[in-house]
Chain A
Amino acid sequence: MAIEYFKCMMCGHDWEEEVEKGEDVERSCSQCRSNSIRRFKSKPTPKE
Chain B
Amino acid sequence: MGLSSRKAIYIPFPQAVPCSYILNMEDCLGNNPIACGKCAEVCEKNAINYDDQDEFVIREVGAVIVAIGLDVYDPTEMDEYGYTRFENVITSMEFERLICAGGPTAGHFVRPSDQVRPTRIGFIQCVGSRNPSIGRPYCSNICCMNTIKDTLLLADHYPDVKNVVFYQDIRAFGKSFEDMFQRSKKVGTRYVRGLPGDIEEDPETQNLIITVENTTSGKLEHHELDMVVLSVGVVPPEDLKKISGLLTLSKTSDGFFMESHPKLKPIDAPTRGVYFAGFCEAPKDIKDSVCQAGAAASKVGGLLNAGEIHIEAITSVIDQEACTMCGVCAPICPYSAIVWEKGQPAMVIEAACAGCGACAAACNFNAITMRHFTDDQLLAQVRAVLAEKPEEKVFVFACNWCSYAGGDMAGISRLKYPSTNRVIRTMCSARVSEEMVLEAFLCGAPVVLVSGCHYADCHYINANRQTVKHVQRLWNKLERAGVRPERLQLEWISAAEGQKFANVMRQMEELRQTITAEEIAHAREALKPKPKKEKKPKTEKEEADKEETPEEEAETVTS
Segment at the interface with A among B27-35, B115-123, B412-420, B550-558: B550-558
Q: Does chain A have a CB within 8 A of B559?
A: yes
Q: Are B485 and A24 in contact (CB under 8 A)?
A: no
Give the chain A neighbours of B491 by CB distance below 8 A.
Answer: 34-36
Q: Are B555 and A41 in contact (CB under 8 A)?
A: yes
Tell me, in angstroms, the Cα distance from A38 to B489 when the chains sit together: 10
Tell me, in angstroms, the Cα distance from A17 to B228 when the chains sit together: 42
Tell me, in angstroms, the Cα distance from A40 to B485 when the chains sit together: 14
State which size class the interface on A falls in.
10 to 19
Secondary structure class of chain B's binding surface, majority of residues: helix
Q: Are A39 and B492 in contact (CB under 8 A)?
A: no
Give the chain B neighbours of A24 by CB distance below 8 A.
Answer: 455, 462, 465
Question: How many B residues face the partner with a CB closer than 8 A?
Answer: 24
Q: Does chain A have a CB within 8 A of B257?
A: no
Q: Does chain B have a CB within 8 A of A48?
A: no
Q: Are B486 and A10 in contact (CB under 8 A)?
A: yes
Q: Does chain B have a CB within 8 A of A9?
A: yes
Which of B501-536 touch A at CB < 8 Å?
507, 511
Secondary structure class of chain A's binding surface, majority of residues: loop
Question: How far apart are B452's CB and chain A's nearest CB, in angstroms?
Answer: 9
Give the chain B neighbours of A10 by CB distance below 8 A.
Answer: 486, 489, 507, 511
Tell me, in angstroms, the Cα distance from A36 to B475 when the chains sit together: 10
Q: Are A38 and B465 in contact (CB under 8 A)?
A: no
The contact of B486 among A9, A35, A45, by CB within 8 Å, is A9
The contact of A26 among B454, B471, B472, B507, by CB within 8 Å, is B454
Given contacts A9-B488, A26-B492, A36-B491, contact A45 B559 (CB under 8 A): yes
Q: Are A9 and B558 in contact (CB under 8 A)?
A: no
Q: Are B472 and A39 in contact (CB under 8 A)?
A: yes
Give the chain A neighbours of B471 by CB distance below 8 A.
Answer: 36
User: 7 tightest A-B contacts by CB?
Assistant: A26-B455, A44-B558, A41-B551, A36-B490, A36-B489, A35-B491, A35-B492
Interface residues of B (CB under 8 A from A): 454-456, 462, 465, 471-472, 475, 485-486, 488-492, 507, 511, 549, 551-552, 554-555, 558-559
Interface residues of A (CB under 8 A from B): 4, 9-10, 24-26, 34-42, 44-45
